[in-house]
Structure formats: structure tokens, C-alpha cells
Structure 1
């Protein structure tokens, strides 16, 4: 078996890993990506792309490609029991992108893969071992046919998600908690009034939250809280029964009537928060969900991963330019880890607030919550809230 040699190996070919590799390649760094999945990207999953991420995408021209397909959400409207409580405008959230873009994850991932050098992405390749010394890392794995693979790299970036093999091989533990909240989401033909086609809607009625976001192709994603008991893991369910059940929940709580026959996906998921106790060891670094996993309510997790690598890549590039055996100074790496951990914790706290605001409250409790939201959205400081949701702080 021949051992390949590259500057950086990225483990995980999802949107975060491919973006990291594309940024590295743009700087002239020899990079390879190992991705366990053999099939092309599919499914809508994460859809929100925030202004700081769009700014970062500009380095490889990905911003133009994404914006040519995405819906631009310029306003968020809060509702309850058929009444509008107030609205947030994203007009002042960013000087470059005064909106949040929505695009199916598989399209974002596909567009990012197209920015990789030819042959850099190795699909169907599973990592099985990591060994490092002071100057290099040896990664071992298996290819699509089960044959052994090995790569020697100056650095390894672990972008392989919440169940990270890289993190496990490094022996890094996680801390956090599982929440009792359970949600169902689904993508339907958009039944809302045409005036809301660039608007995110959040209904916080007595029975629990229903959020919805416009998607390309005249579609809309609905996310509904369906319970607060039991533990659950992500599982997909595209049956007509699941679509009909979600459509009924949306109709009962909001008055909107999505057509189950137009549903292209449903997913039932639980929520958890995790943080790796270390952001890496030696020449191996964790980014995205491998380093910090937060609630998807708020749509900031994928963006956190992109912003992790945006500030990591320049440090790796500087070390590689310094020559063989050079590494990232410990002070720079510690400062990077501190900043990214702080950003993840801030996003996690914001997601917890979002979840709390969407819990069932009964009629009396809902009235109090409605009054609070109506007041908050009417104040001049509402623009600050828009900046928080658009990740202006990141």
C-alpha cells in the first residue's frame, strides 16, 4: 500500500469540511478530503446561511453561486393565535448581506464540492486510525471497495460531525445535555400568502411553536414542537402519514394549510448540546459539530462550522509556509479555540432561549408571552435582535 502525502487532510466531506478544503486549496495548499458517504449529497436538512458565512464564501466565489439559487429572507414575523405580534427586519443586520439566505443543504454542499480541486474529494472512504508525531500525522482508512488507504499530512481537520470518528480516535470526551424537546419538520409547497415569500414566520401559540421558512422552488419548511418527553435521535420519515400529521399540526396552530401531497421530506428529531473538552490534539483540529453541537432551532450550527474554518485556515497556511515541521503557535491556537468556543456557547444559549419561547404555555401563559414579544419587537432595540439572529456577532 502506497501512502499519499498532502499538506492537509480534511475528514468529513459535508458543507463544513468541503468549505475548509476549498479555502485551503484557494491558498495553494495541497488538500485531500475523506468522506464516508459514497452517494452524492441529498436531503434538505440545514437550510439557513447567515451573513458572516456569505462574507466568508466570497473568498472562493461560493457566495455568488449560493445566492443565485437561494431565497433571501429579509423579515421575520412573530404570530400567535392568528394575530401578528411584530416583525424583525434584517435590513441593518449586515452591510453586505441584509438578509438570511435559505437553500437546501444538498445544494450548498454540491456547490461547495465544485470549488474543490479535481480528485481532492475521496468519497466512500472511512477513517480507522490516526497516528502523529511532532511533524506529521498518518491517517489510515478503507476505501469504497474495502481496500486499505493511508495519507500522511502536516495537519488533519476533523469536520466529521457530532459522532466524530476523529474525536473518538483522539480520545476527546464531550460534555453537554440532552433536551426533552422533540420536533418534526417537513418541506411543502408554500401555502402562505405571496407577500410572505421572503419572510420567516414564527407562531408561538399556546400549544407550542411552529416555525416556517421559504425555500427555493416555491416551497416552505415547517418545524413544529410535538412533545417535551422522551429521548430521541434523528430519524427520517417520508411517509404520507408523517406529512399529513405535520400538516394537521400546522393547520391547527397557525391556520395555514400545507398540502401533504406536496411534501418532499419529513424528519423527526430531538435536541442536544455537546461541546468537546478539547478542540484537538497536536496536529489534529476539530471544527463544526465535531467540536460543538447545538440545537438546530435557530439554524446557526452549520454556520458556526464555516466560521470555525474561516479563522482556522489562515493559521494552518501560515504554519505550512514556514516549512516542514512547523506548527501553529500554541498561543494562536489557544486564542482561536477560546474564540470559537465562546461563539458556540453564545449560539447555544440563544438556541435555548428560542426553545423556551416556543414551549407550550396554555392560554394564560401564552397571553403573557405574546405581550412580552409584542413589546420587545416594537422597541428600537429590535434591530439588535435581528443582528443576533443573523449572527452579526460571530
Structure 2
């Protein structure tokens, strides 16, 4: 229920204080907007969920003023290698070079850097423990009604996650469906000797992925035939040992998570004076790590338009067919990018599914031949790192 004691008015109200919402708030503040960022969680989570920052995302973070701090903390992944034991011994199937590299850094560190930057340029902008209930259009903008009051803005950004209550109350339709893939993921002390390599183990029972993290930690992700029920670090270690031969120290597991995959894309991203961003606009599989970067690219695209609308004034943030067409074109491009990311995520998941050993061996042989062609390897690397 909404409390009536608080009412604030700002240029822009950003709902959601995760990586996308805070980045959006920073970019708006850098454009001179009076911005408030509302976050339901009273404290920042300490889990290392999303870890991959692709080169286009790092470009946005550079504009936000946090890239340097994250690069200093993270691991730069310049190569990825695919291996397989389908032949009875571990063989290298393909090797891809990432130029620029992908940055691996725990999400809590990314959020910490963004929060610090937002506090430096817009003190007090982040409001924790504020839960948005709905949004409504007004003559001069939109209002966000929360459990503790009302926040009015000439623009509202809904970066409130895949189950976005703001998207729901606006009546924006979505399309998509749950996917049949399930995964078990955990962070362990790295005893592989693979250093900064990203490794894909293409095995008949399902793919196992591993990625380096700062502090001598490696993330392991295993594809499962069905969702894990009450899994343990020992369960994941056993799966990895059976498929790859790697031995993990279960006492050194710092995170464990089982998840299934949903694909959900919004039909629109702009409704009046409300802009949907991040998972509120496009929920894609985390396999491939494109979701967070996709949201930052939303912020990069829309923040300058919102700021220009504030400068132009007027109830519509500007007038003329050219201005309207610019918004339409930007929305169309971001929707296209979301569809492309969803397609790539589906490809990534298909690659990870179990195959009978003879088919796995045949596919590995085909990959070995294909990715021996330099231009094809370069093109694949660019696609995996969101540069094509």
C-alpha cells in the first residue's frame, strides 16, 4: 500500500538499482539531469551472479566513469578454448581470440563501483528500501507510486527486472517462453592451471564451462538434463569430475546456484514518458553473459535522448517528426539487438546440450575443421563478445 507522506519531483526517476539502473542514473546525471534511483533491496547483494563484461559494455562503463576501477579488479579473458574427451583423451577442438578481451569481475564489485560513482556525482540519488508498485502517465511526465510515497519525473526508467511491475501495469505485452535447459553453477578455488582462459568442455553428457575470476577463483557451469533439486557443491564437483576429469575442492566453494532459463522480450520499450531497460525489456539466457551488457547499451542509447528531451522542454520533451522518428529508430534498434542476443543465447544453449557420443565426436570434428579457418574464428569470437 502506498504511503502518502512523501512526494518528490525529479527530472528522471529510475526504478531499479541494479547494474543497469545505476548505470542509467549515472549517465543521466552526467548529462545534467536531476535523477533519483529507487531500489527495493535495503542492501546490495554479495553474490557473484553476472561476471562477464563484454567490450561494448565496457565502453558504456567508460562513459560512466567506472571502467578503470573494474579493469583494475577484474580478469581480462583474451582467449577461449574448447576441449573434449569424446575420443577417450582430452583434445583441443578450437581456440578463439577475443580482441578486445572480455572482462570477468563479480557482479557485487560492478555494483559497488557503480554505486560509488553515482554517490560521487549525484549524492543521495540512490534510495534503498523503496519498492515501486506502479507507474502512471501524467501530462508532463510520469509518476512512480511506491510503498513509501510518490516520485514524479518528466521521465521514468523501468529497470526493475524480469518480473517488472512497471511493465505489467503499463500493459506492455511480452513474448517468449521457458526453455528446457537447466544448469548448476558454482565458484571454486582454481587449481586448473588455465589462468585467464575461458574453457568450454564439449562432452556427450552436456557442456561444462569454466571462467576465471579475481582472487584465484574459477566459475564452473554445467548443463543438466533436468533442474537440480537441493544441489550441493559435492554434486557439482562430481558432475565436473565425471565429464572433464577436473577435481574441485568442495570446501573452497564460495557460491552455488541452480537455475533454469526463460526468454522474454517486451513488444515495446517506450510507452509515453516511460522507458523499459535491461531485463524489464528483454530477459535472455545468462549463458553467454549478454544480458547485463545489453542493458547498459539500452542506457547508452536512451539516456542522451532523455537528456535532450529535458533540454528541449515542453510536455512531450520536444516536437517535430524528426524528433519522434529518432525515438522510434532508437527503440527499433534496441529491440533488434535484444532479438539478436536471444538468438545467440539459444545457439549457446544448443551447443551445450547432451549428444550421443558418436554425434558429439562428429560435431567436434566439424568444429575443428571450421574453426581452423582464421576468418571464421574471428567472426565467431566477435559474435560471442557482442561486437557483431
TM-score (norm 1): 0.92
Runs of 4 or more consecutive aligned structure 1 residues displaced over 6 Å after TM superposition: none
Deviation, structure 1 residue 119: 0.5
Q: Secondary structure at the match of 2:73?
A: coil
Within 2, Cα distance between the matches of 1:255 and 1:191? 12
Within 2, Cα distance between the matches of 1:138 and 1:180? 38
What residue number does 1:355 align with?
349
What residue number does 1:224 align with?
222
Within 2, Cα distance between the matches of 1:31 and 1:355? 38
What residue number does 1:160 align with?
160
Equivalent in 56, 60, 78 of residue 60 of structure 2: 56
Deviations 1:290-309 (A, max 9, x none): 00111111110111000011
What residue number does 2:272 align with?
282
User: Are the counterparts in 1 of residues 270 and 331 from structure 2 also a CA contact under 8 Å?
Assistant: no
Deviation, structure 1 residue 125: 0.4
What residue number does 1:83 align with?
91
1:35 has 2:47 as partner:
no
Within 2, Cα distance between the matches of 1:326 and 1:170? 18
Q: Secondary structure at the match of 2:12?
A: strand
Deviations 1:317-373 (A, max 9, x none): 110001242426331221111111111111111111111111111210111111121
Deviation, structure 1 residue 191: 1.8
User: Are the counterparts in 2 of residues 49 and 303 from structure 1 also a CA contact under 8 Å?
Assistant: yes
Within 2, Cα distance between the matches of 1:324 and 1:339? 26
1:364 has 2:358 as partner:
yes
Deviation, structure 1 residue 129: 2.8
User: Are the counterparts in 2 of residues 207 and 360 from structure 1 also a CA contact under 8 Å?
Assistant: yes
What residue number does 1:94 align with?
none
Deviation, structure 1 residue 218: 0.3
Within 2, Cα distance between the matches of 1:160 and 1:108? 17
Within 2, Cα distance between the matches of 1:136 and 1:205? 53
What residue number does 2:138 align with?
133
Unaligned runs of 5+ in 1: 92-97, 143-147
TM-score (norm 2): 0.93
What residue number does 2:109 align with?
107
Within 2, Cα distance between the matches of 1:203 and 1:292? 28
Deviations 1:119-160 (A, max 9, x none): 100101011232222312121112xxxxx3211100000001
Q: Secondary structure at the match of 1:99?
A: strand
Q: How many residues align?
A: 372
What residue number does 2:16 align with?
12
> How do residues 156-235 of structure 1 correspond to structure 2 at under 5 angstroms?
156-193=156-193, 196-227=194-225, 229=226
1:344 has 2:338 as partner:
yes
Q: Secondary structure at the match of 1:22?
A: helix
Q: Secondary structure at the match of 2:387?
A: coil
Deviation, structure 1 residue 169: 1.5
What residue number does 1:95 align with?
none
In terms of mean alpha carbon deviation, does 37-46 or 205-214 score higher?
Answer: 37-46
Deviation, structure 1 residue 66: 0.7
Unaligned runs of 5+ in 2: none
What residue number does 2:150 align with?
150
Within 1, Cα distance between the matches of 2:173 and 2:65? 36
1:387 has 2:388 as partner:
no
Within 1, Cα distance between the matches of 2:66 and 2:242? 40
